[in-house]
Amino acid sequence: MAVKPAPQLASAAVPRHVAIIMDGNGRWAKKRFLPRIAGHKQGVEAVRRISRAARKLGIEALTLYAFSSENWRRPEEEVRDLMGLLRQFLASELEELISEGVKLRVIGDWRRLQPDLVAMIDSAIARTADNPGPTLVIALNYGAQAEILAAARRLAEEVKAGTLDPSAIDEQRFEAGLETADLPPLDLMIRTSGEQRLSNFLLWQAAYAELLFVDTLWPDFDEAALAAAIEQFGKRQRRFGGL
């Protein structure tokens, strides 16, 4: 299938790291009197579109909130469908990621997923580990509060062992213990579907990120919508607490 070129940007300010809370699959399906799985399938198509568009636009890292640690509360059938779609995505997209030089990263407590899925993820990460291009980060079984707590516990253990002076703990030392430590700082976080909350996603990393909430449901989010979001980013003045 031919990939349409991403729209050209008027602004030269392209964020290095963009994160997206992909919301609205269920509502997309409901509006069309379809089962929720139909919305999730279209959501996967949106992932393909946006990951390709992000590469064309020069974004270095794209982090997608695919499955939160709270999503286990959803019906068992829906969770099973989501995991099945993840398997299909890895199977169908891996060769393209490799050919495009994309490095795949997965954050969250994803090793608690089913063994066959963990093996697929391990293989995909290993096969793309040396790729020189942009990074696609998938957040699976992820919760920002758990990530922050884990980093704090590791530092506490070092202090208890006598290998770390508490006075040496600063922002940089703490960030080094987060799962996004070697990624560019988060510049822009987008949430689709009109909801305006972070839902336990990249809470530390979003401290000075630009936030953008759009009404578009995730399955309808396309290259033009991403380009428009980046245009808005380019018009904002980022002061980072200064004047």
Is 110 marked within a binding site?
Answer: no
**Angle at 198 (CA atoms; ends 193, 20), nearest 5 degrees:** 60
Q: Which residues have CB under 8 Å from 23's CB, separation 6+?
A: 191, 192, 193, 195, 217, 218
Using DSSP's 3-state secondary structure scheme, residue 202 falls into coil
Is 32 marked within a binding site?
Answer: no
**Cα gap 143→202, rounded to integer Å:** 8
**Cα gap 116→183, rounded to integer Å:** 27
Active site residue 141: no
Active site residue 71: yes
Is 55 marked within a binding site?
Answer: no
Is 204 marked within a binding site?
Answer: no
Of 23, 141, 187, 222, the catalytic one is 23
Is 23 marked within a binding site?
Answer: yes
Is 72 marked within a binding site?
Answer: yes
Cα–chain center distance at 208? 17
Of 71, 109, 131, 220, the catalytic one is 71
Partners of residue 212 on adjacent β-strands: 190
Q: 157 exposed, middle or buried (CB, 10 Å; 0-12, 13-18, 19+)?
A: exposed
Is 92 marked within a binding site?
Answer: no
Is 28 marked within a binding site?
Answer: yes
Annotated binding site for substrate: 24-28, 36, 40, 68-70, 72, 74, 191, 197-199
Annotated binding site: 23-28, 36, 40, 68-70, 72, 74, 191, 197-199, 210
Active-site residue numbers?
A: 23, 71
Annotated binding site for Mg(2+): 23, 210
